[in-house]
Amino acid sequence: MDIILLILKIAGLVLLYLFIWLIVRATTRDVYSAGGVEAAPDIAMPEAPPPPVATPAERSQRRRERQTERTMAGEALDLTANIDPRLIVERSPVAPAGVVFPLSGPVTIGRAPTSDIILDETFVSQTHARLILRDQFYFVEDLGSTNGTFVNEKEVSEAQLKPDSRLRIGETVFRYEE
Amino acid sequence: MSRRNSELAFLALAAVISTMAYVSVFAGRYHEIRRASIVYGLIFVAVFLVLHLVVRFVLPQADPCLLPITALLSAMGLTEIYRIRPALALLQGQWLLVGAGLFILTVLIVRDHQRLDRYRYVIGALGLGLLLVTMVVGTEVNGARLWLRFGGFSIQPSEFAKIAIVIFMAGYLNDKKELLSMPTKRFLGLGFPAPKYFGPLVLMWVLTLVMLVFVKDFGMSLLFFAVFLAMLYMATSRIAYVMTGAALFVVAGAAASQYVAHVHERFLIWVDPWSRAATSGYQLLQSLFTIADGGMLGAGLGRGYLLFPNHQPIVPDLPTDFIFAALANELGLLGAVALILCFLLFCWRGFRIAMWAPDGFSKLLAAGLSVTFGLQAFIIIAGVTRLIPLTGITLPFVSYGGSSIVANLVMVALLLMISHRAAVVRGGSLRERHELAKLG
Q: DSSP characters for B413-426?
A: HHHHHHHHHHHHHT
Report the residue of chain B nearest A13, measured CA to CA.
Answer: B335
What's the pLDDT score for residue B375? 96
- Quick check: A132 pLDDT over 80? yes
What integer is the mean pLDDT of A70-93?
68
- To the nearest whole percent, how much of chain A has pLDDT over 70? 70
Q: Regarding predicted confidence, which is higher, B136 or A75?
A: B136
What's the pLDDT score for residue B112? 87
pLDDT confidence tier of residue B188, bands split at 50, 70 and 90? low
The torsion region of residue B395 among left (phi > 0), alpha (psi -120 to 50) and beta comes to beta
Question: What distance in Å separates the CA atoms of residue A168 and residue A151, rounded to the nearest whole number?
Answer: 6
Beta bridge partners of A89: A174
Residues of chain B positioned with their CB less than 8 A from the CB of A6: 300
Q: Regarding predicted confidence, which is higher, A33 or B404?
A: B404
What's the pLDDT score for residue B111? 85
Q: Regarding predicted confidence, which is higher, B133 or B122?
A: B122
- To the nearest whole percent, how much of chain B has pLDDT over 90? 43
Query: A134-138, B55-59, B210-214, B399-403 — which is least confidently predicted?
Result: B210-214
Interface contact flag, A5 B179, Cβ < 8 Å:
no
Of A6, A12, A26, the CB nearest to B17: A12
What's the pLDDT score for residue A67? 57
What integer is the mean pLDDT of B18-23?
86
Interface contact flag, A23 B72, Cβ < 8 Å:
no
pTM strictly above 0.80: no
How many Cβ pairs closer than 8 A exist between chain A and B? 91
Report the residue of chain A nearest B175, measured CA to CA.
Answer: A122
How do A158-161 and A166-169 pair as beta strands? unpaired
What's the pLDDT score for residue B52? 96
What distance in Å separates residue B421's CA from the closest CA in chain A?
Answer: 12
What's the pLDDT score for residue B144? 67
Query: B41-50, B242-251, B253-262, B341-350 — which is least confidently predicted?
Result: B253-262
Question: What distance in Å separates the CA atoms of residue B296 and residue B332, rounded to the nearest whole number?
Answer: 5
- Quick check: B229 pLDDT over 70? yes
pLDDT confidence tier of residue B143, bands split at 50, 70 and 90? low
Interface contact flag, A16 B338, Cβ < 8 Å:
yes
Mutation to test the A interface, candidates B5, B6, B8, B20, most A Cβ within 10 Å: B20
Of B10, B20, B359, the CB nearest to A11: B20
- Helix H or strand E encompassing B145: strand B144-150
Residues of chain A positioned with their CB less than 8 A from the CB of B24: 5, 8-9, 12
- Quick check: B2 pLDDT over 80? yes
Which CA distances in Å does B222 have to B53, B147, B206, B431?
37, 18, 12, 44
How much is the ipTM here?
0.89
- Residues of B in CB contact (< 8 Å) with A are 6, 10, 13-14, 16-17, 20-21, 23-24, 27-28, 31-33, 64-65, 68-69, 72, 176, 178-179, 297-298, 300-301, 303, 331-332, 334-335, 338, 341-342, 345, 348-349, 352, 356, 358-359, 425-427
Q: Regarding predicted confidence, which is higher, B155 or A43?
A: B155
Query: A52-66, B147-161, B251-265 — which is least confidently predicted?
Result: A52-66
Question: What distance in Å separates the CA atoms of residue A102 and residue A79, rounded to the nearest whole number?
Answer: 17
A69 part of contact set with chain B, CB < 8 Å: no
The mean predicted confidence, pLDDT, of chain B is 87
What's the pLDDT score for residue B207? 83
How do A149-151 and A117-118 pair as beta strands? unpaired
> What is the signed CA dihedral for B390, B392, B397, B402, rounded to 10 degrees?
170
Instruction: Identify the three-state secondary structure at position A131.
Output: strand
What distance in Å separates residue A7's CA from the closest CA in chain B?
Answer: 10
What's the pLDDT score for residue A39? 42
Residues of chain B positioned with their CB less than 8 A from the CB of A111: none
A12 part of contact set with chain B, CB < 8 Å: yes
What's the pLDDT score for residue B31? 58
Contact in structure between B302 and B286 (CB atoms under 8 Å):
no
Nearest to B395 by CA among B322, B331, B326, B334: B322
What's the pLDDT score for residue B169? 92
- Quick check: B22 pLDDT over 60? yes
- To the nearest whole percent, how much of chain B has pLDDT over 70? 92
- Quick check: B201 pLDDT over 70? yes
What's the pLDDT score for residue A73? 47
What's the pLDDT score for residue A58? 67
Interface contact flag, A19 B24, Cβ < 8 Å:
no
- Give the tens place of pLDDT for each residue, B5-20: 999 999 999 999 988 8
Q: Across the beta sheet with A166-169, what order do the strands follow?
A: A100-102, A86-91, A172-177, A166-169, A149-151, A154-156
Query: A43-57, A130-144, B180-194, B308-322 — which is least confidently predicted?
Result: A43-57
Q: Domain-by-domain residue ranges, chain B?
A: 117-439
**Backbone angles phi and psi of A138, in degrees to 5:** -95, 135
What's the pLDDT score for residue B261? 80
Query: A57-71, A116-130, B170-184 — which is least confidently predicted?
Result: A57-71
Query: B179-193, B225-239, B330-344 — which is least confidently predicted?
Result: B179-193
What integer is the mean pLDDT of B348-373?
94
Contact in structure between B148 and B155 (CB atoms under 8 Å):
yes
Query: A162-176, B252-266, B385-399, B414-428 — which is least confidently predicted?
Result: B252-266
pLDDT confidence tier of residue A62, bands split at 50, 70 and 90? low
Question: Which alpha helices (DSSP H) does B276-426 contain, by range?
Answer: 282-294, 323-356, 360-384, 402-425
Of A5, A27, A34, the CB nearest to B24: A5
- Quick check: B72 pLDDT over 90? yes
What integer is the mean pLDDT of A2-20?
90
Termini Cα distance of chain B: 30
Interface contact flag, B301 A9, Cβ < 8 Å:
yes
What's the pLDDT score for residue B106? 94
- Quick check: B327 pLDDT over 80? yes
Q: How many CB atoms lie within 10 A of CB B277?
A: 13
What's the pLDDT score for residue B35? 61
Q: Regarding predicted confidence, which is higher, A60 or B162?
A: B162
Query: A12-21, A83-92, B58-67, B253-262 — which is least confidently predicted?
Result: B253-262
- Quick check: B44 pLDDT over 70? yes
The mean predicted confidence, pLDDT, of chain A is 77
- Quick check: A38 pLDDT over 80? no
Contact in structure between B187 and B173 (CB atoms under 8 Å):
no
Contact in structure between B25 and B83 (CB atoms under 8 Å):
yes
What's the pLDDT score for residue B165? 93
Q: Regarding predicted confidence, which is higher, B378 or B433?
A: B378
Of A10, A19, A39, the CB nearest to B13: A19
- Give the tens place of pLDDT for each residue, B257-303: 888 787 888 888 999 999 888 888 898 999 999 999 999 988 888 88
Contacts 24+ apart (CB under 8 A), A14-21: A15/B13, A15/B16, A15/B17, A15/B20, A16/B17, A16/B72, A16/B335, A16/B338, A17/B334, A17/B338, A18/B13, A19/B10, A19/B13, A19/B14, A19/B17, A19/B68, A19/B72, A20/B338, A20/B341, A20/B342, A20/B345
Question: Which alpha helices (DSSP H) does chain A contain, by range?
Answer: 2-36, 56-73
What integer is the mean pLDDT of B67-78?
94
pLDDT confidence tier of residue A114, bands split at 50, 70 and 90? confident
> What is the signed CA dihedral for A71, A77, A79, A81, rounded to 10 degrees?
-80
- Quick check: B64 pLDDT over 90? yes
A7 part of contact set with chain B, CB < 8 Å: no
Residues of chain A positioned with their CB less than 8 A from the CB of B72: 16, 19
- Helix H or strand E encompassing B85: none
Nearest to B228 by CA among B253, B246, B216: B246
Mutation to test the B interface, candidates A7, A8, A121, most B Cβ within 10 Å: A8
What integer is the mean pLDDT of B34-55?
81
